[in-house]
Structure 1
Amino acid sequence: MIISFDLDDTLIAKNKFRLEKINLFQQFFGIESLREGTIDLFKEIKKRNYKIYIYTTSHRSETRIKWTFYSYGIPVDFVINQQKHQKEIKKHNINCSKFPPMYNIDIHIDDSVGVEMEGEKYGFKTIIISEKNQNWVQVVLNSLK
């Protein structure tokens, strides 16, 4: 199974939810803080032999995104940023902010109700997590059963 996660306001945000602790290395290199629970969630997903993709409309480089997760000890399998998405979406002539089927993604986790609506329209599965949901890790894990 391939599971993708959005970044902004889902896994990364300042002052919207509690964050994982950062170490001196991360602080020195300006690594962004991840939402509290991300490390445990990703480790559990990996334990189940699922692949983890990051699918974001951010213009962050793939390398920067990969390094962020690697610095927490939770490397991701694949990164789709805005540049990669735009390049591929043009080939398929689809007007959609995210289109997980294009990358064989089974479930996409996001904070945007708009992405949920696109999922309903284009037939892909989403799990929408509010920034206020403190039980978000359990919501994701329960949805993956």
Structure 2
Amino acid sequence: MKQFPVERKALWHRLFSREKIRQGTVRLMKQLRQDNHRLYVYTTSYRSPAYVKRLFLSYGIRIDKVINKNTHDKILGKRAGSISKYPPAFNIDVHIDDSPGVAMEGEEHGFRTIIIAEEDGEWTETILHQLAINKRL
């Protein structure tokens, strides 16, 4: 199980969900929105897109699109079983993840990734720095 500091939850957050989001997520996503990035959540879970959107909205973050396992399987068809995530199928330019396996898939299938290590205490800065580099490419 991944261990990292999490965002503080108000009482009404706790009533809505037991899920926690990584500390810095709110600030980062608001910065990305301000920089005119679209915000997608691509998850291998079966949580409904409506649930995921409400979870983030409870922190003041509007998510543009949620791709869950059902959507992934439907769009990728037979190929879905051989790749955990394939951002190009959903017009995602850069995929941010914490799984080195997704980085390997990105290299193999030609999509850009930014992989954040669990122990990276400056992970939000890492993402913003890598996005700035990607923008120049």
Name the TM-score, length of structure 1 as normaliser.
Answer: 0.86
Alignment-derived partner of residue 135 in structure 2:
none
How far off its partner does 1:126 sit?
0.3
SS at match of 1:109: strand
Structure 1 gap segments, 5+ residues each: 1-8
- Correspondence for 1:116 among 80, 95, 103: 103
Residue 25 (structure 1) aligned with residue 9 (structure 2)? no
Kindly indicate whether the alpha-carbon contact (under 8 Å) linking 1:57 and 1:81 is maintained by their aligned counterparts in 2: yes
Pick 1 or 2: higher relative contact order, CA cutoff 8 A, min separation 6.
Answer: 1
1:82-123 Cα distance to aligned partner (Å, 9 max, x none): 1110111116x4621100000110000111111101100110
Q: How many matched pairs? A: 131
Structure 1 residue 62 corresponds to structure 2 residue 49: yes
Alignment partner of 1:140 is 2:132? no
Say whether the 8 Å CA contact 2:96–2:116 is kept in structure 1: yes
Structure 1 residue 31 displacement after superposition:
4.6
CA RMSD of aligned residues (A): 1.4
CA contact (8 A) 1:31 1:68 kept: no
Q: Does 1:101 align with 2:83?
A: no
Amino acid at match of 1:80: I
Q: 2:30 maps to what in 1?
A: 43
Alpha-carbon contact 1:59-1:82 (below 8 Å) kept: yes
Q: Give the deviation of 1:75 after TM superposition.
A: 1.2
Q: Secondary structure at the match of 1:126?
A: strand
Alignment of 1:51-90 (within 5 A): 51-90=38-77
Tell me if the contact between 1:62 and 1:81 (Cα under 8 Å) persists in the aligned partners.
yes
Q: In the TM superposition, what is the alpha-carbon distance from 1:30 to its structure 2 partner?
A: 2.2
Structure 2 alignment gaps of length 5 or more: 133-137
Task: State, as a whole percentage, how many aligned pairs show the same letter.
Answer: 45
| Per-residue deviation, residues 49-85 of structure 1 (Å, max 9, x unmatched) | 1101000101111111111100000111000001110
Counterpart residue identity of residue 130, structure 1:
A
Structure 1 segments of 4+ aligned residues over 3 angstroms from their partners:
none
Question: Does the 8 A contact of 1:17 with 1:132 survive in 2?
Answer: yes
